[in-house]
Amino acid sequence: MIKRTLALSLLFLLPTHAKDVGQWGSNVGPEMRAWFNGVYNRKGLKCCEAADGYPVEYQMRSDNHYWVRFKDEWYEVPDEAVVRQYGNPTGGGVVWFAEVFGGRAVRCFVPVAEY
């Protein structure tokens, strides 16, 4: 538990680097890029740069946490990583990851806008 808490704490302190691997295709317009560039998590840290977020399947589980599926693995989303105040123009869930201790952890997650 202590190792997990330390890893999650470091997750929100460490800088991340954008990795555009074509996850949104080549037709991301300026408005969408501005949205990606303007999303910050609850700790006030920028989620990352344009096209760094990945489209994901997600679900709210009985533990009252979001879980995202990425490359056939499920990741729990920490409460401080859930972002709602910026809307979501993508039409689906978006996640930004950080590399922590050689693994992947959720830095930010934006669900579909809930009305």
In terms of pLDDT, which residue wins out, 58 or 17? 58
CB contact set of 30 (below 8 Å; sequence gap of 6+): none
Please state, in angstroms and as integers, the Cα–Cα distance from residue 20 to each residue in 27, 41, 50, 52, following that order: 13, 20, 8, 6
- pLDDT of 81 above 80: yes
How far is it, in rounded angstroms, from Cα 11 to Cα 66?
17
Write down the pTM of the prediction. Answer: 0.74
Q: Residue 58 CA to chain centroid, in angstroms?
A: 11
The predicted-structure confidence for 47-80, as pLDDT tens digits, reads as follows: 875 447 899 999 999 999 999 999 999 999 999 9
User: Domain residue spans in the chain?
Assistant: 2-110
What number is the average pLDDT over the span 15-21?
A: 45
